[in-house]
Amino acid sequence: MAREMMPSKWSPNPFSFGGTSLPLPLLLAAKLVALCLLLRFTWRNLPSPFLPFLSVLDYFRYTPLFAWTLKMAVLIGCAAVLLNYRVRTACLVTGSAFFLGILASRPYFENNILYLACLLILLGLYEPRTGPWLIRAQIILVFFAAALNKLLDTSWRSGQFFDYWASVFVNKSFYFQVESWLPQMALARLMSWTTIAIEFGIAVTLLFRRSRIWGVWLGLLLAAGQNFLTERTFGVFFYVMPISYLAFFAWPPSGITVHYDVDCGFCRRIHGLVGRLDVDRLFAWRAFKRGVDLSEIPRDRHTRRLYAIIGEKKYSGFAALRIIALYFPIVYFALLVPLTLPQGLLLHHRSLLPLFFLLFFSPIFAKSTKLQNSPAPAESLGNRLQLAS
C-alpha cells in the first residue's frame, strides 16, 4: 500500500482541514462520520464473535478482548481522524473494525453499519490519482441496488409492503388522515413508486456532473422525509448517507472573498465569528465603506450588506450568508450535533430540524449574479490550506 503522505505541519485542531492526505470535502466527511460515531455511541455495539459469517472467527468466541479491540480501534481511529493524524489509515482502521464486527456476527449485520464500513474503508483507500470516484461509485451502487431490489419485489410494486410498514413505523397522524381520503392502497402504492423512482433518480443523476446537485437534493429530501415520517434514523444511515454526498463537491480553488460593510453591525459580527474560527483562512475578508467603489460591486448597489464572491459569481445579502455557511466546515459540525441528540431533548421535534436546514440551504435562496469586473485573483485555496497547516 502506498505510504501515506505526511502533512508538512501537523495540526491537531479538529477544525483545521489542511495538510492531510485527504482533500477538504473528504476530510470533512470523515470527521463528521467520526463525530457521529462518537455521539451516537455506535462503537458500543461492536460484537464478540457470535454466529459469524466466517467460521474461523468462532475461535475468538469466548474472548472479550475481540470486541474490546474492535471498540478501541474505532475510538482511536475516530480520534485520529478528528485530530488530523494519519487520516487515511485511521479511516481504514475504523472501517475495517466495523467490517470485522459484521463478519463476526450475523445478528449484528445491518445495512447501515455495512455502508459505514465501506465508506470509511474507501476514504482510507483514497488516492489523488483516482479522486473521490470510489466513494461516489459506492453511493451510486447502494441507491441503484436498493431501487432494483424494490422494483423486483411484488409487495413493493403493489404497495402492500408500504401499507404494512407504514402502519408499524409511521407516527405522523396526517399520513393516515391523507390515507383515509384516498382509495384503498392508493397512498401506499404512490409512496412505494415514489421511493423507487427517487432512488433510481438519485443513482442516475449522481452519475453526471450537470445533474449531480439534483441527485444530492433528492437524497437529502428522501432522508429528511423518512426521518420526518417515522422519526427514525435507520441506524446511522440518516447521518452517514448525507455526509457522504460531500464526495461530489469541491471547495472553490480560488477561495471565497467576502466584502462586508464596516458600518453594518451584523456584517461585522459575522466577520468576527467566522474570522475567529476560520483556522484555514478559507475566506478572504475585505471591509468597505458605503460610497467607496469596489471593483466588483458598483457604488450605486451598495447597501448595508454582505457580498460573497466565488470566481465570477457574486452573492449578496442572505444568499451571501448562505454561501458562507455552505463553505464553512464548522457549520456542518453545528448542523450534525443537534441531529444526534436524543429525541426527548428536542421535545420530539428533532425531525423538524433537517427540514429547517434544507430550507435554509434551499436553491431558492441561491441567486447569484455575474461580476461586471473580474476580481483580483485571490490566493489559491490550496496555498491557504498549506500555509494554514
Partner 1 sequence: MRRLAGITLLLMQMAAVVHARLVPSRWLGAWAPNDYAVRYRLQVHVDSCLLSADETGERYGLRAEGVYENPVQNLMDIVRQREETYGREDHARVVLTYHRNRGRLEEWRWPEK
Closest CA to 312 of 373, 357, 238: 373
Q: Which of 63, 130, 343, 373 binds partner 1 (CB under 8 A)?
A: 130
Count of CB atoms situated within 10 Å of the CB of 223: 20
Identify which range of 72-80, 115-123, 213-221, 323-331 contacts partner 1 by CB under 8 A.
115-123
Cα–Cα distance measured from residue 246 to residue 136, given in angstroms and rounded to the nearest whole number = 9
Least distance from partner 1 to the Cβ atom of residue 141, Å: 6
Please answer whether residues 248 and 297 qualify as being in contact, where contact means their C-beta atoms are separated by less than 8 angstroms.
no
Q: Which three cell numbers stand for residue 354?
A: 433537517
> Which one of the spans 32-40, 99-107, 244-252, 353-361 is the region binding partner 1 (CB under 8 A)?
99-107
How many CA atoms lie within 13 Å of 233's alpha carbon, on the beta-carbon side?
Answer: 20
Is 229 or 331 the residue whose CB approaches partner 1 more closely? 229
Provide the minimum distance between the beta carbon of 111 and partner 1 in the complex, in angstroms, as a whole number.
Answer: 4
Binding status of residue 211 toward partner 1 by CB under 8 A: no
DSSP assignment of 13-60: -TT---SSSS-HHHHHHHHHHHHHHHHTTGGGGPPPPBS-SSGGGGGG
CB of 232 to partner 1, least distance (A): 9
Q: Under a CB-based contact definition with an 8 Å cutoff, are residues 138 and 121 in contact?
A: no
Nearer to partner 1, 39 or 146 (CB): 146
Closest separation in Å from C-beta 192 to partner 1: 11
Q: Do 341 and 334 form a contact (C-beta atoms < 8 A)?
A: no
Instruction: Render 118-184 in DSSP notation, one character per residue.
Output: HHHHHHHT-BTTTBTHHHHHHHHHHHHHHHHHHHT-HHHHHSHHHHHHHHHH---HHHHHHHHHSPT
Residues 80, 82, 87: CA angle, nearest 5 degrees: 50
Judged by CB under 8 A, the chain residues 158 through 197 that form the site for partner 1 are: 160-161, 163-165, 168
The window from 36-44, 52-60, 263-271, 311-319 that contacts partner 1 (CB under 8 A) reads 52-60
Which grid cell sits at 282? Answer: 478559507
Among 5, 12, 58, 362, binds partner 1 (CB under 8 A): 58
Tell me the closest approach of the beta carbon of residue 135 to partner 1, in angstroms.
9
Out of 83, 102, 243, 378, the only residue in the binding site for partner 1 (CB under 8 A) is 102
In whole angstroms, how large is the CA radius of gyration of the chain? 23
Residue nearer to partner 1 on the CB measure, 3 or 210:
3
Q: Is the dihedral of CA 220, 217, 204, 27 positive or negative?
A: negative
Q: Which is nearer to partner 1, 55 or 173 (CB)?
A: 55
**Is position 106 an interface residue for partner 1 (rule: CB under 8 A)?**
yes
Nearest distance, CB of residue 118 and partner 1, angstroms: 7
Chain CA centroid to CA 24, Å = 12
By CB under 8 A, is residue 56 in contact with partner 1?
no
Number of H helices, E strands in the chain: 16, 5
| Position among 134, 207, 330, 352 found at the interface with partner 1 (CB under 8 A) | 134
- Minimum CB separation from partner 1 for residue 63, in Å? 15
Report 231-260 residues binding partner 1 (CB under 8 A).
234, 237
| DSSP-based three-state secondary structure for 128 | coil
Q: Which three cell numbers stand for residue 340?
A: 444526534
Task: Catalog residues that contact partner 1 under the rule CB under 8 A.
Answer: 1-2, 50-51, 53, 55, 58, 102, 105-109, 111-112, 114-115, 118, 121-122, 125-127, 129-130, 134, 137-138, 141-142, 145-146, 148-150, 152-153, 155-156, 160-161, 163-165, 168, 234, 237
